[in-house]
Amino acid sequence: MAFNKSLAGYFDDVQHIGIPTDDMTKTIAFWEKLGFKKLGEFDTDDQGNEVVFMQYGHLTLEIWTGDGAVHKTGAINHISLNTSDADAAFKAAKAEGFKLKDSEVQHLDFWDKGIKFFNIEGPNSETIEFCEIVK
């Protein structure tokens, strides 16, 4: 019999903070000036959009083009929490009645074996992502 735990038991840390940009070169230069280093860079579509992950110490940023930057307070798109089991976390979120922004666990080809993730909506319409880097 599987142990049923709350959604709080399915993440262990902040994984990254997501920030859309209209100018990747300028954005990378800004974060590099603050001491961040590029971890990875991926194409996201056939329109020339991309995503870059940058890290300083324990903090990782996901920066991407294609969605448009807000250019005002509130520009951060989402906070991602690290999970080792996105499927189980999704089931827990659904069972606990969280407002799901996805109808199922999503997949992207980032990193060596991809990622699995889903999003919930917080009380102020903020997006909280639960992300598993597939091992």
Strand blocks (E) in the chain: 13-20, 37-43, 50-56, 59-64, 78-82, 99-100, 106-108, 115-121, 127-133
In the chain, the amino acid numbered 24 is M
Q: Which residues contact 67 (CB under 8 A, 6 or more apart)?
A: 20, 77
Residue 93, pLDDT score: 95
SS3 41: strand
Residue 75, pLDDT score: 87
pTM confidence score: 0.86
Report the chain (135 residues): mean pLDDT per 10 consecutive residues: 73 95 95 95 91 96 93 90 96 95 95 95 90 95
Closest CA to 130 of 120, 121, 122: 120
Residue matched to tokens 């709080």:
8
pLDDT single digits (tens) 119-131: 999 988 899 999 9
Residue 4, pLDDT score: 62
Closest CA to 52 of 110, 100, 3, 106: 110
In the chain, the amino acid numbered 71 is H
